[in-house]
């Protein structure tokens, strides 16, 4: 398995080649329906989980298995109350949340269909920050899992072009993400209107994003304040062992080095925006992830950036810099 793509997965993309050349190419930005038909046109079933006991098959109460309908591969074992959100729900959410049809740039599945997503650019215009703060491309990501590990999530996902960093930020009064748990009994189709209101058609979010980024780009941060920021971001823990203390110190030094030396931050060096982007670059590219039985290091990195520790680290950085 390379990049999480198995022989039963499909990924479709537009623009520059991605996914190690393992994707299907599209020569135009796709509608959600087009992307769905190419990469996600299959369903998931929920079936009882059986145990062999004394030569008999007994159903295990309270649990079920999710199975991909076309390959019959078991995707996960979930609680019986788990609600399947079919891939068509992702298509419908994307269509509803992006004005005048989604300009989908990539969509597909990973790990045999355990994780599925669509990513669309939500505006023809990019965000150009003042003071040479960089160019931001506004995206919306809609994703879910079929193995019980992730909720159905629609997330605003801004990317800074100069360094390909995801600079996702959350603001009071403006949601960066809308989440529906698979244990919810509500029909996802009935939640679309609520999601539209929560995400504010994404425009409210990107207005708040631009305001916050502009403010940080204009806010000076002294060398002393930068040092204090990274110490607060990676605090020492009472009773920590030598290995943990070394890892904390290394992370502080890595972020400091990026804030002080990264070439893509020359124009905003010494500002809060530079400090935030240093954290974003460290979170996206500087952390080392372990390889597991089911995922490569890069697969785990992608999952962390999407909705894991990397995303949480950026959130803590933003709180420290804006408060």
Same domain, 225 and 145: no
Are residues 90 and 168 located together in one domain of the fold? yes
Q: Worst-scoring range by mean pLDDT, 93-97, 141-145, 225-229, 300-304?
A: 300-304
Assign 26 a pLDDT band (cuts: 50, 70, 90): confident
Residue 162 included in any domain: yes
Quick one: which of 307, 309, 303 has its CA closest to 251? 309
**Is the distance from CB of 161 to CB of 137 less than 8 angstroms?**
yes
Determine the structural domain holding residue 273 and report its residue range: 219-322
293 pLDDT band, cuts 50/70/90, is low
Q: Is residue 279 part of a domain?
A: yes
Q: Which residues of 257-269 are buried (b: 16+ CB within 10 A; e: fewer)?
A: ebbeebebbeebe
Same domain, 226 and 100: no
Same domain, 38 and 123: yes
**Maximum CA pair distance of the chain?**
73
pLDDT grade for 227, boundaries at 50, 70 and 90: very high
On whether both 108 and 209 belong to a single domain, the answer is: yes
Percent of the chain whose pLDDT exceeds 70: 83
Any domain includes 63: no
pLDDT for 145 equals: 92
Sign of CA dihedral 130, 135, 139, 143: negative
Is the pLDDT assigned to residue 231 strictly greater than 90? Answer: yes
| 314, part of any domain | yes
Q: Evaluate if residue 66 carries a pLDDT over 80.
A: yes
Q: What is the pTM of this model?
A: 0.78
Question: Are 168 and 255 in a shared domain?
Answer: no
- C-alpha closest to that of 107 among 202, 14, 2, 1: 14
Q: pLDDT per residue over 146-170, tens digit each?
A: 999 888 888 888 888 877 788 877 6
Percent over 90 (pLDDT), the chain: 36
| Count of domains for the chain | 2
pLDDT exceeds cutoff 90 at 312: no
- Do residue 142 and residue 32 come from a single domain? yes
Residue 103 lies in a domain: yes
Would residue 302 count as lying in a domain?
yes
Pairing relationship of beta strands 139-145 and 177-180 according to DSSP bridges: unpaired
What is the average per-residue pLDDT within 52-65? 87
Helix (H, G, I), strand (E, B) or coil at 307: helix
Query: What would the DSSP string read from start to end of 52-107?
Result: EETTEEEEEEEEEEEEETTT--EEEEEETT-----HHHHHHHHHHHSTTS-EEEEE
Per the prediction, the chain carries an average pLDDT of 83
Per-residue model confidence (pLDDT) at position 4 = 56
pLDDT at 205 over 90: no
Residue 105 belongs to some domain of the structure: yes
150 and 284 share one domain: no
- pLDDT value for 235: 94
Q: What is the pLDDT of residue 186?
A: 63
């Amino acid at each position: 398995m390379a990049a999480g793509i198995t022989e039963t997965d499909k990924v479709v993309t537009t623009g520059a080649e991605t996914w190690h050349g393992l994707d299907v190419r599209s020569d135009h930005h796709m509608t959600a329906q087009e992307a769905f038909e190419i990469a996600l046109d299959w369903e998931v079933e929920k079936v009882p989980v059986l145990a062999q006991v004394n030569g008999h098959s007994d159903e295990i109460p309270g649990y079920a298995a999710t199975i991909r309908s076309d390959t019959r591969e078991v995707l996960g074992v979930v609680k019986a109350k788990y609600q399947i959100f079919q891939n068509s729900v992702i298509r419908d959410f994307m269509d509803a949340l992006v004005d005048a049809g989604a300009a989908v740039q990539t969509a597909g599945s990973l790990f045999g269909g355990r994780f599925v997503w669509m990513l669309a650019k939500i505006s023809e215009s990019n965000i150009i920050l003042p003071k040479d703060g960089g160019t931001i491309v506004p995206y919306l990501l809609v994703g879910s899992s079929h193995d019980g590990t992730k909720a159905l999530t629609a997330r605003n996902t801004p990317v800074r072009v100069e360094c390909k960093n995801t600079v996702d930020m959350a603001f009071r009064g403006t949601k960066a993400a809308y989440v529906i748990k698979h244990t919810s009994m509500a029909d996802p189709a009935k939640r679309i209107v609520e999601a539209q209101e929560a995400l504010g058609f994404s425009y409210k979010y990107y207005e708040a994003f631009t305001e916050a980024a502009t403010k940080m780009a204009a806010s000076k941060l002294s060398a002393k304040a930068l040092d204090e920021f990274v110490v607060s971001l990676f605090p020492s823990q009472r009773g920590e062992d030598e290995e943990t203390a070394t890892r904390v110190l290394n992370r502080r030094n890595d972020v400091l080095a990026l804030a002080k030396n990264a070439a893509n931050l020359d124009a905003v060096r010494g500002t809060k925006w530079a400090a935030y982007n240093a954290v974003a670059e460290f979170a996206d590219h500087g952390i080392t992830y372990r390889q597991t039985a089911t995922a490569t290091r890069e697969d785990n990195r992608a999952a962390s950036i999407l909705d894991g520790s990397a995303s949480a680290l950026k959130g803590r950085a933003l709180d420290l810099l804006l408060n």
